[in-house]
Structure 1
Amino acid sequence: MIAHVHVDAPVITIDRPFDYEVPPQFETLIEPGMRVSVPFGSRRLLGIVTGVSEGTREGLKPLEALLDEESSLTDELLDLSTHVKETTLCFRSSALLAMLPAALKVSYDKEIKGETLPDGVRAGTHLSEYPKETQSIILALAKKGDILLAPVLKEKRTVKTDLVIELIDATLIPARAKKQQEAIKLLKDVPRMYWSSLRQIGLSRAQLQKMESLRAVKVTEVELNRDPYATIEQVIETVELNESQAKAVHAIRDAEAGETLLLHGVTGSGKTEVYLEAIGQVVDDGKQAILLVPEISLTPMMVKRFKRRFGDRVAVLHSALSQGEKYDEWRKIKRREVDVVVGARSAIFAPLENIGLIILDEEHETTYKQEENPRYHARDVAIWRAEYHECPVVLGSATPSLESYARAQKGVYRYLQLSERYGGEMPPVHIIDMRRELAKGNTTMFSEDLFVAINDRIAKKEQCVILLNRRGFTTFVMCRDCGEGLTCPHCAVNLTYHQHGDRLKCHYCGYEIGMPSKCPTCDSKKIKQFGTGTQKIETELLNRIPEARIIRMDQDTTSRKGSHEQLLKRFEDGEADILLGTQMIAKGLDFPNVTLVGVLAADATLGMPDFRATERTFQLVTQVAGRAGRGSLPGEAYVQTYNPDHYVIETASEHDYESFYAREMQLRQVGNHPPYWYVTLVTFAAESPLVAQAEAELFAADFVEAHVAQSRLNGPMPAPLSKLKNLFRYQLFIKTKHPEALYPVLATLQQARAKAISKKEYQLSIDVNPYVFM
């Protein structure tokens, strides 16, 4: 028997299946979708079996080991990996591995073998176990041939276990064994206890073993499920849907196989209730559902509502969980113990086998697009899976992407609308012209109107949400004598000042230094921070309103596990007056006591080198304004801007999506942008800017010769972020009306450069339908 295996090596020259002989002991066990350990040259690599065939062939290497008891990937996901490879131009191994939880991926190490080893080094141990200095000595000896380093795979998956102690006969414990008697007393009240609970009285493992040897207790090892949401109790809530919601649920119920529906509901219109009811009907039919949310910060609130409705039949998958927690949730799905999967982007690959409905909440969010290989969009994967399972896909948003709304207008998607806020009115939005504030001598980040409104809400014990989509204390540092800005030595960006630790940081590569006391270029002491970030806003608010209780949410405050949930729980419990943050607080959050929203520098993103900059600004302002007045109290929003007459600010303040759509589509058509054309971004990166430019020019020339119908080429040109992590970058923009004709050509051009790419002469990345152009 022969196994066809894709190995864990994202190298373009080996992006194909390799054949291995299946040893006799594995022939009745091996299946497509299993993880295996295979020899590959001098290495041992993880592989995914994508097929098996009968027969044998001379010269094939045998598989070393099966790493799974059953397939980790279903036949559907194996087929999906081919689709992802073809439509995103990634390696198939990358697509396959993206579908597995981190615990099922492996790390590669070397086992130390030999008789004469350096002091402190033992045979059978792994190279990674030793300090770098010792590793250098070991590697030098291995190079001479004095010791042998054998490549090994180290699995990451771990199963959490505990011991269950059951009382059999209390009379067998001697009276003098005080701790054992104390344990027996507890077991008489609770005849079956976990060891993790029993050992808290000071009982040692040796004492437990003694009790077991006397047959006083029975000890059994059991597997535990790591459930971070175990404390949420199921509560059957009955919510009466309004007419629009009921119509939407009915339309989803009656949708055709594989149909895509766009649910366009204003903020606070009750889209989540529609999701709950629609999924409830699917579960009642014996099928399963996937609900995707764009931000980790939204997940705790959404999980809470779904856990209350569906109890332990809900699995949760997102990056804020520990590796072990994600693995346990994934195994619950594989064992068919759940009906509903809630999670962020990667949850679209959940190994469900009977899907009846897939929902993408806030479908317009760019976080649904993966920015590293494989560069898939969760929406496209959802549509493919829905067609496979013959079930509907629902795309929900208060501010749909222009591409989705255009498809709905053309009838490609079915259009559903919730035009009224559930139980209330849309909050009025006040536009504040910051040019007038500046003319009045107000140089702070807060207009007088917004500042008065914040004080008023604090006095009334109501809550505020303040958005500034910029983390850090200031945006850049500059010398006022020579004009030199402090930039990252590895990237072509300014360093951002962070007050905590008095540090300057690069938000792209992680480089950081202490804040200098004088200019590195001219030694002047007139070096100062400019611009404003969330840290600075927090400081300014505390200086002006010392009694204000503020919770700041940005990447700096939410990097630790569980921090999103903890911060939002504190705000929900009324432990803060103001929630200050970046775009992570702009959508999905539902706090009934929030009556004021402030948007600082609403137009800051309008000048980005991206044709979607206006769309993102509209979405951000509309979404965050919708956080106000979601309970019984009325709300309002203040939008501060230096461009009050810009159509984006005007339409967002009026919650007028249709007017924004009509204006923006005219500009998109003139600029030949999506949804009128499909866009692909090709980026070349090299240590020398001349190499990057030359390779981009060669690629451009080859593309022109390929004569792809109805396609246009722009470039090559330096990337907006021209240097990133010590590599210089050039870009090509390719626009086409027929992506199905473009993809094979790009794949051929990519393959033609395989040798140079494998030698790392330069890097080539192809991003189909990109969302980041930097």
Structure 2
Amino acid sequence: LESYHNATQLHKYGFVELTRRFNDVLMPEIELVDLKDKYKRKRMKGHFSDRMIEELTEALENNNQAILFQNRRGFSTIVECKTCGHSPQCPSCDVSLTYHQYKNELRCHYCGYKIAMQQACFACASVELDSKGFGTEQIEEEVKQLFPKAKVGRMDLDTTRGKYAYEKIISEFEQQELDVLVGTQMLTKGLDFRNVKLVGIMNADNMLNFPDFRAHERSYQLMQQVSGRAGRTKERGKVLIQTYNPLHKILQQVSVNDYESMFKEQLEDRYNFKYPPIYRLIKITLKHRDYNKVNDGADWFAKSLRITFKKHVLGPEFPPVSRIRNQYQKNILIKIPEKQSLTKTKEAILKIKNSFLSIKDFRPIRVVLNVDNY
């Protein structure tokens, strides 16, 4: 969005638009599937709607391939005890552990901590454990159950850890040794598979509801990229997007390929709420093992910044995951209006940082300055 704004409105650099696909191939047909309605009518099998199963069956019968996209690896996001509601947490981060079925272990996606899958609840020793959420492993499993004859591959960080694993999966799919490929956002960028007829996005909502001012723009780009994998030869491809909210503006814009109205809308929002590209952003993160120290340090830092920058300072605030690798983190955001001098801003921030680090109690706190942190 920033680049588009720079090119079309500020004319900082040239702007060239591609309006057609190579060889005049048709854009894929995009269909939104309403999960709420499908669950109500009991037309779901696992995480697959009846439409998705129909299209997959048709693609496989015609010897075409399909890609299924789910932006979360592992089998299920949270393992929860049905009796007391306890779910295993990572000891050094503030997140619950993700269940990985192929190694039968629970793993933290932030620091790599892992333990064997528990047979009983750690808190109340009940054996009734329930898993919530779904990742690529679970989708792969379900495809195998629904289509026992289909050859299914999976491509995420877990399957591509080996040296040539990435190339191996891609060449297998290119040579049509695999019928269905399930994967995370690794699949989205720049791969050219000739025989892919169908692309399925399993759940578009978890991308859209991410707490970040660029979540909508990112989801648009990601869905656009994934759908670009379908129908890259003579036959027109098909894209199915499963969602609980098919009337969402971004999904509507993806379905009709309307980048311009997405750009205008997002830009208006950014203008109203003072975000880039209208304002510049600087994010200051304070990290330390001691919770109180980070709290006091961040308050002091924010107070000093407010004297200079007044209402343009946001925070201090804990991020969604406030502790990673035993370090507590707290963020302060500074917004810089267009007319403000960047050199003077930089000098003022560095001055405050130096006086912060000269205070004995705050010296062990790590201060990270991140300019344009998106």
Work out whether residues 356 and 362 of structure 2, in 8 Å CA contact, stay in contact via their aligned partners in 1. Answer: no
Match of 2:194 among 581, 592, 597: 592
Q: How many Å separate the matches in 1 of 2:207 and 2:123?
A: 31
Amino acid at match of 2:56: I
Question: Residues 32-66 of structure 1: CA distance to partner in whole angstroms, max 9, x if unpaired?
Answer: xxxxxxxxxxxxxxxxxxxxxxxxxxxxxxxxxxx
CA drift at 1:622? 0.9
Aligned-partner Cα distance in 1 for 2:296–2:193: 54
How far apart are the structure 2 equivalents of 1:478 and 1:643?
A: 27
Cα distance in 2, alignment partners of residues 453 and 764 from structure 1: 52
**What's the secondary structure of 1:579's corresponding residue?**
strand
Matches within 5 A, 1:123-202: none
Alignment check: 8 A CA contact 1:473 1:535 kept? yes
Q: Structure 2 residue aligned with 1:692, among 291, 294, 310? A: 294
Measure, in 2, the Cα distance between the counterparts of 1:761 and 1:582: 38
How far does the alpha carbon of each residue in 1:429-488 deviate from its partner, in whole angstroms, 9 at most, with x for none? 000001111012225211111111111111111111110000000011111111122211
CA 443–629 in structure 1, closer or farther in 2 if over 3 Å, else same: closer
Question: Structure 1 residues 575, 443: CA separation in 2 closer, same or farther (over 3 Å shift)?
Answer: closer
Aligned to 2:32: 431
Q: Does 2:18 align with 1:415?
A: no
Q: 2:369 aligns with which of 736, 748, 766?
A: 766
Question: Alpha carbons of 1:483 and 1:701: their partners in 2 closer, same or farther (altered >3 Å)?
Answer: same
> Using a 3 Å threshold, how does the CA distance of structure 1 residues 740 and 657 change in structure 2: closer, same or farther?
farther
Which residue number in structure 2 is paired with residue 269 of structure 1?
A: none
Asked if residue 659 in structure 1 is aligned to residue 258 in structure 2, the reply is: no
Measured in 2, the distance between the counterparts of 1:759 and 1:733 equals 19
Q: Could you give the per-residue CA deviations for residues 204-258 of structure 1, whole angstroms, max 9, x where no partner exists?
A: xxxxxxxxxxxxxxxxxxxxxxxxxxxxxxxxxxxxxxxxxxxxxxxxxxxxxxx
Is this contact kept in 2: 1:711–1:734, CA < 8 A?
Answer: no
**Residue 727, structure 1, aligned to residue 330, structure 2:** no
Deviations 1:344-368 (A, max 9, x none): xxxxxxxxxxxxxxxxxxxxxxxxx
Deviations 1:360-410 (A, max 9, x none): xxxxxxxxxxxxxxxxxxxxxxxxxxxxxxxxxxxxxxxxxx111111122
Say if 2:348 is the partner of 1:745: yes
Q: Distance in 2 between matches of 1:440 and 1:431?
A: 17
Structure 1 residue 759 displacement after superposition: 9.0
| CA–CA distance in structure 1, aligned partners of residues 32 and 360 of structure 2 | 51
Contact 1:468 1:582 in 2 (8 A): yes
Q: CA deviation at 1:587?
A: 2.0
> Alpha-carbon deviation of 1:649?
0.6
Question: Residues 716 and 456 of structure 1: is their aligned pair in 2 closer, same or farther, counting only changes over 3 Å?
Answer: same
Find the partner of 1:713 among 279, 289, 313. Answer: 313
Task: Give the structure 1 partner of residue 167 of structure 2.
Answer: 565
Asked if 1 retains the 8 angstrom alpha-carbon contact of 2:74 and 2:136, the reply is yes
Q: 1:740 to 1:585 in 2, by over 3 A?
A: farther
Q: How far is the alpha carbon of 1:625 from its aligned partner?
A: 0.7
**Distance (Å, rounded) in 2 between the aligned partners of 1:427 and 1:675:** 31
Q: Helix, strand or coil for the counterpart of 2:145?
A: helix
Alignment partners' CA distance in 2, 1:576 and 1:533: 20
**Equivalent position amino acid for 1:418 in 2:** L
RMSD: 1.8
CA contact (8 A) 2:297 2:362 kept: no
1:413 to partner: Cα distance: 2.1
User: 1:555 aligned to 2:157?
Assistant: yes
| TM-score, normalised relative to structure 2 | 0.94
Q: Say which SS state the counterpart of residue 513 (structure 1) adopts.
A: strand
Q: 1:444 is matched by which residue type in structure 2?
A: G
- Given residue 420 of structure 1, which amino acid in structure 2 is its aligned partner? R
Shift of 1:606: 1.6
Does structure 1 conserve the Cα–Cα contact (< 8 Å) formed by 2:357 and 2:363? no
SS at the partner of 1:719? coil
Structure-2 separation of matches of 1:543 and 1:758? 59
Cα offset for 1:711? 7.0
Taking the aligned partners of 1:740 and 1:667, their CA distance within structure 2 comes to 28
- The whole-number CA distance in structure 1 between the counterparts of 2:354 and 2:37 is 57
User: What whole-Å deviation, never above 9, does each CA across 1:519-543 have from its counterpart, x for those lacking one?
Assistant: 1112222222111000010011101
> Residues 644-675 of structure 1, C-alpha deviation per residue, up to 9 Å, x if partnerless?
00001110111110011111111111111111
**Paired residue for 2:91, among 472, 481, 489?**
489
**Structure 1: stretches of 5+ with no match in the other structure:** 1-401
Report if the CA contact (8 A) 2:69-2:185 is conserved.
Answer: yes
Q: Distance in 1 between matches of 2:12 and 2:362?
A: 45
* Mapped contact 2:153–2:181 kept (Cα < 8 A): yes
Describe the superposition over 1:72-97 as per-residue Cα deviations: whole angstroms up to 9, x where unpaired. Answer: xxxxxxxxxxxxxxxxxxxxxxxxxx
TM-fit CA distance, 1:676: 1.0
Q: Alignment partner of 2:12: what SS?
A: coil
Partner letter of residue 346 of structure 2?
Y
How far is the alpha carbon of 1:696 from its aligned partner?
0.6
1:148-176 deviations in Å (ceiling 9; x for gaps) = xxxxxxxxxxxxxxxxxxxxxxxxxxxxx
Query: 5 Å matches for 1:286-685?
Result: 402-410=1-9, 411-423=11-23, 424-441=25-42, 442=44, 444-685=46-287
User: Which stretch shifts more, 423-432 or 752-761?
Assistant: 752-761
TM-score by length of 1: 0.46
For the 8 Å contact 1:722–1:730, the answer to whether it is kept is: yes
1:444 and 1:516 map into 2 onto residues whose CA distance is: 24
Given that 1:591 and 1:631 are in contact with CA atoms closer than 8 Å, whether structure 2 keeps it comes out as no
* Contact 2:356–2:363 under 8 Å retained in 1: no
What is the CA distance between 1:561 and its match in structure 2? 1.2
Equivalent residues of 1:757, 1:764 under 8 A apart: no
Shift of 1:704: 2.4
Which of 1 and 2 has greater Rg? 1
Contact 2:66 2:197 in 1 (8 A): yes
Deviation at 1:687, TM superposition (A): 1.7
In the alignment, structure 1 residue 736 sits paired with structure 2 residue 336: yes
Contact 2:289 2:328 in 1 (8 A): yes
Q: Sort the Cα spacing of 1:471 and 1:483 in 2 relative to 1 into closer, same or farther, 3 A.
A: same
Counterpart Cα distance in 1 of 2:170 and 2:361 = 46
Give, in whole Å, the separation in 1 of the partners of 2:72 and 2:298: 33
Query: 731-740 or 609-618: which moved more?
Result: 731-740
- 1:597–1:625 CA contact under 8 A, matched in 2: yes
Equivalent-residue separation in structure 2 for 1:642 and 1:609 (angstroms) = 18
Whole-Å separation in 1 of the counterparts to 2:269 and 2:362: 43
Is 1:678–1:736's contact at 8 Å kept on the other side of the alignment?
Answer: yes
Which secondary structure state, in structure 2, belongs to the residue aligned with residue 478 of structure 1? strand
- 3-state SS, counterpart of residue 683 of structure 1: strand
Distance 1:740 1:575, change over 3 A: farther
Alpha-carbon distance change, 757 to 622 in structure 1, aligned in 2, over 3 angstroms: farther
Distance across 2 between alignment mates of 1:678 and 1:757: 32
Amino acid in structure 2 at the alignment position of 1:726: N
